[in-house]
């Protein structure tokens, strides 16, 4: 998620000060990913350095308002109109953990999957309960919270389906058949070891 572009998109609606930006971000995303004020001010300073926002004078209450520049407006609009591109590789800790567990001798990968499944199912129940408690969205803030909550429910459901898939795939291969011992081949410095196809 890009805090940078999110702040620009909000500033495109009008000048804001730091705490106001945080409140607007929470209001527009259902408060599902709270930003700290320090992160907002650091981001604003980088945006100012890059010519995407400008800092105004302090008002009578000491609030310093930030204004979007034409370049910032163009970047915000480009971000909103472009699809989100997922990274080619994964840094998903669960995927990496299960891949490693499946190849490490002596690891009970079924127990690792079972533990994760229990935690993922509990999280899904919490999300569904929160989803059931919500009313039909009456205003924009309720709708945004609902949309983000729906995305979280779908992601939790997908994780459980993926765990079922992993379990089926591993069941087709006895664990000892895919366990990898440490390689005796020494990789060259500065280069990753090449895989033999």
pLDDT, tens only, 9-43: 999 999 999 999 999 998 888 777 788 889 999 99
Cβ-proximal residues to 35 (8 Å cutoff; 6+ apart), any chain: 3, 22, 25, 26
Measure the CA–CA gap between 181 and 138, rounded to whole angstroms.
Answer: 58
- Tell if the pTM clears 0.75, that is, is over it: no
Question: Do 174 and 116 belong to one domain?
Answer: yes
Question: Do 75 and 98 belong to one domain?
Answer: no
- The percentage of the chain sitting over the pLDDT mark of 70, rounded to a whole number, equals 89
Is the pLDDT at 191 greater than 80? The verdict is: no
Last residue of a domain, one of 81, 113, 128: 81
Residue 10 lies in a domain: yes
What number is the average pLDDT over the span 83-108?
Answer: 82
Residue 116 lies in a domain: yes
The tally of domains found in the chain comes to 2
Residue 190 lies in a domain: no
CATH number of the domain enclosing 18: 1.10.10.10
pLDDT of residue 193: 57
pLDDT of residue 27: 86
Is the pLDDT at 88 greater than 80? The verdict is: no
Measure the CA–CA gap between 185 and 191, rounded to whole angstroms.
Answer: 13
| Residue-range definition of the domain harbouring residue 48 | 3-81
């Amino acid at each position: 998620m890009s805090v940078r572009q999110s702040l620009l998109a909000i500033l495109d609606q009008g000048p804001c000060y730091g705490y106001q930006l945080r409140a607007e971000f929470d209001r527009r995303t259902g408060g599902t990913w709270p930003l700290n004020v320090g992160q907002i001010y650091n981001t604003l300073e980088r945006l100012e350095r890059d010519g995407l926002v400008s800092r105004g004078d302090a008002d009578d209450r000491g609030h310093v308002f930030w204004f979007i520049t034409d370049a910032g407006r163009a970047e915000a609009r480009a971000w909103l109109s472009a699809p989100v591109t997922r990274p080619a590789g994964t840094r998903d800790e669960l995927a990496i953990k299960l891949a490693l567990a499946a190849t490490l001798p002596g690891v009970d990968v079924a127990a690792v999957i079972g533990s994760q499944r229990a935690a993922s199912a509990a999280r899904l129940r919490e999300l569904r309960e929160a989803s059931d408690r919500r009313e039909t969205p009456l205003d924009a803030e309720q709708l945004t919270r609902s949309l983000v909550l729906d995305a979280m429910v779908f992601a939790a459901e997908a994780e459980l389906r993926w765990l079922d898939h992993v379990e089926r795939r591993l069941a087709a291969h006895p664990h000892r058949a895919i366990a990898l011992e440490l390689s005796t081949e020494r990789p060259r410095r500065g280069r990753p070891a090449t895989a033999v196809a």
